[in-house]
């Protein structure tokens, strides 16, 4: 077997991802909906409330394997594609996207969220952009390859459209989980088909795709000599901006009244017997929400999340936390009249932090409202009315009460004002 044929087989095996996700869903404890819950939740290590991915190791192993299959297939099949920068860039983007999904499996969202979301964003952007660029390049080849080029371009555009919806926080009726899958699903299906297409052979030569032949029918022999070098140079160029150096600064002298440093007592060492003094993870920053008596910390040698109690000790935080992903940043507001903090979780429900409390409480039934009416926006605080309002993607608006959501405007009120729904409140 030639190396390019092995690469095509690796791409065909990318369908394993769907098997891994299906198995992880079977082991998920609690309600799991493809429409409202993210793929990354299947790889979460910790259990939250009544939701638990018991087979998270299977999902993360599938991510790792998928990254190796994508990158390895791109490296080995490169000689079957023409030389020139469009082809090199397209295959380079596809290969580099494998690194992103590998990082997703290596860094679960609740263990190393920064690297996890960076890997997911890199994978979504690079794989779909690579497919679209490859499709454009194929459309300039002989007519026999144009249907495959059109399919590649369509795959990339669909995935990029889903990524744009994620960035704009639009669920277009699919729900947040559905939009994420609109971004993630087309590429592995398409790349496995490309592997079969390459392995089967296209017009111009049995089992050896003629796509790498020049218009006069001669094979481009320079590809075999330069493909590896070009791919390595491109991967290095793409990886450069993503690298970072972390260094500790020596403490500098400051006025005695400027700051007071109080050492913390370390947590229990049940998590790791040889753990030393607690340290923040290098890629994690304290999460601070209005009303919380302490920031939420992610430590280097201790699993889970931690807060600082009144005795300046690190204690585990086992309550609900409204920030599940980078899409939730800033989705909190504090009521000036009650000092209560209201937060929404993208793809989830509404929670409140009452004055003096140390944990958020999710409002009962808010998840069901989100599933029926779409993801929430807000919260919108109306101080003169002493009301806090959240809106769903279908235009329904709700007032946040003590332990429930109450419709803010009835259908009759909306009809009387001549509007179909409420999107934002200012």
Query: Mean pLDDT, consecutive 10-residue segments, the chain of 426 residues?
Result: 86 94 89 85 82 88 95 91 88 94 92 91 95 91 84 94 90 87 94 89 44 41 35 36 33 47 57 48 58 68 70 71 57 79 77 77 79 80 86 83 80 75 78
Identify whether residues 168 and 308 lie together within a single domain. Answer: no
Residues 88 and 38 in one domain: yes
Per DSSP, helices labelled H in 13-109 are 16-26, 56-77, 85-106
- What is the C-alpha separation between 19 and 426, in angstroms, rounded? 46
Q: Are residues 348 and 298 in the same domain?
A: no
Residue 375 contacts residue 169 (beta carbons within 8 Å)? yes
Q: By the 8 A CB rule, do 305 and 316 touch? A: yes
Q: Are residues 307 and 361 in the same domain?
A: no
The verdict on 307 and 331 lying in the same domain is no
Residue 351 covered by a domain: yes
For 341, the token pair is 């903090």
Residue where a domain terminates, one of 271, 292, 318 = 318
Phi, psi of 351 (to 5 degrees): -135, 160
Instruction: Outline where DSSP puts E strands in 141-182.
Output: none
For residues 53 and 27, the answer to whether their CB atoms sit within 8 Å is yes
Q: Is residue 257 part of a domain?
A: no
Residue 142 buriedness (CB in 10 A; 0-12 / 13-18 / 19+): middle
Q: How many Å apart are CA 176 and CA 17, to the nearest integer? A: 20
Give the separation between CA 95 and CA 264, rounded to whole angstroms. 45
Any domain includes 426: no
Note if the bond before 199 is cis, omega within 30 degrees: no
Tell me, yes or no, whether 254 lies in a domain: no
Domain boundaries, position 233: 3-242
Identify the domain boundary among 183, 213, 242: 242
If DSSP codes are grouped into helix, strand and coil, which group holds residue 190?
helix
CB 400 within 8 A of CB 389: yes
Pair (163, 307) in one structural domain: no
pLDDT attached to residue 262: 54
Q: Which residues contact 366 (CB under 8 A, 6 or more apart)?
A: 348, 349, 350, 351, 376, 405
What is the pLDDT at residue 30?
A: 79
Whether 266 maps to a domain, the answer reads yes
3-state secondary structure at position 23: helix
| pLDDT for res 426 | 75
Specify the length of the chain in residues.
426
Can you give the pLDDT at residue 209? 44
229 and 270 part of one domain: no
pLDDT at site 100: 94
What is the structure's pLDDT at 73? 93
251: in domain? no
Question: What is the number of other CB atoms lying within 10 angstroms of the CB of residue 119?
Answer: 24
> In this structure, are 195 and 91 located in the same domain?
yes
Please classify residue 229 by burial: count the beta carbons closer than 10 Å to its beta carbon, then call 0-12 exposed, 13-18 middle and 19+ buried: exposed
Indicate whether 108 and 60 sit together in one domain. Answer: yes
Question: How many domains are there within the chain?
Answer: 3
| Rg of the chain in Å (alpha carbons) | 25
Query: Do 180 and 79 share a domain, yes or no?
Result: yes
CA dist., res. 13 & res. 69, Å (int): 7
Q: Does 191 share its domain with 338?
A: no
What is the structure's pLDDT at 344? 80
Helix (H) or strand (E) holding 186, with range, is helix 186-200
- CA distances to 172, 240, 350, 356, 404 from 369, in Å: 17, 44, 10, 28, 11
Q: Are residues 309 and 359 in the same domain?
A: no
CA 302 to chain centre: 24
Residue 92 has what pLDDT? 94
Nearest-angstrom CA–CA distance, 220 and 158: 32
């Amino acid at each position: 077997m030639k190396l390019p044929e092995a690469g095509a087989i690796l791409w065909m095996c990318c369908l394993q991802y769907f098997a891994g996700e299906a198995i992880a869903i079977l082991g998920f404890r609690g309600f799991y909906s493809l429409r409202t819950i993210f793929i990354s939740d299947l790889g979460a290590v910790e259990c939250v409330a009544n939701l638990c991915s018991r087979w998270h190791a299977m999902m993360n192993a599938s991510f790792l394997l998928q990254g190796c299959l994508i990158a390895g297939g791109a490296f080995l099949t490169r000689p079957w594609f023409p030389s020139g920068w469009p082809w090199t860039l397209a295959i380079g983007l596809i290969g580099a996207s494998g690194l992103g999904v590998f990082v997703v499996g290596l860094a679960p969202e609740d263990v190393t969220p920064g690297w996890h979301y960076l890997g997911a964003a890199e994978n979504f952007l690079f794989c779909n952009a690579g497919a679209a660029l490859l499709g454009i390049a194929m459309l300039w080849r002989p007519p026999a390859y144009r249907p495959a080029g059109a399919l590649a371009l369509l795959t990339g555009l669909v995935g990029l459209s889903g990524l744009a919806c994620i960035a704009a926080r639009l669920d277009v009726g699919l729900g947040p989980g559905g939009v994420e899958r609109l971004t993630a699903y087309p590429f592995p299906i398409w790349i496995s088909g490309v592997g079969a297409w390459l392995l089967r052979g296209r017009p111009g030569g049995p089992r050896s795709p003629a796509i790498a032949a020049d218009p006069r029918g001669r094979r481009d022999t320079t590809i075999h000599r330069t493909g590896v070098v070009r791919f390595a140079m491109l991967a290095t160029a793409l990886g450069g901006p993503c690298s970072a150096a972390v260094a500790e600064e020596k403490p500098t002298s400051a006025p005695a009244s400027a700051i007071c440093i109080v050492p913390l007592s370390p947590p229990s060492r049940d998590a790791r017997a040889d753990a030393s003094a607690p340290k923040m993870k290098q890629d994690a920053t304290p999460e601070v929400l209005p009303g919380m008596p302490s920031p939420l910390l992610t430590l280097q040698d201790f699993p889970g999340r931690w807060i600082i109690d009144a005795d300046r000790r690190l204690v585990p935080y086992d309550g609900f936390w409204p920030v599940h992903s980078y899409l939730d940043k800033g989705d909190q507001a504090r009521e000036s009249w009650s000092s209560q903090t209201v937060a929404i979780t993208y793809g989830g429900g509404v929670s409140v932090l009452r004055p003096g409390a140390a944990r958020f409480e999710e409002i009962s039934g808010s998840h069901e409202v989100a599933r029926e009416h779409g993801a929430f926006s807000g919260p919108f605080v109306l101080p003169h009315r002493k009301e806090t309002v959240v809106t769903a993607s279908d235009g329904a608006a709700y007032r946040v009460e003590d332990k429930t959501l109450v419709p803010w405007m009835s259908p009759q009120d909306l009809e009387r004002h001549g509007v179909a729904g409420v999107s934002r409140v200012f």
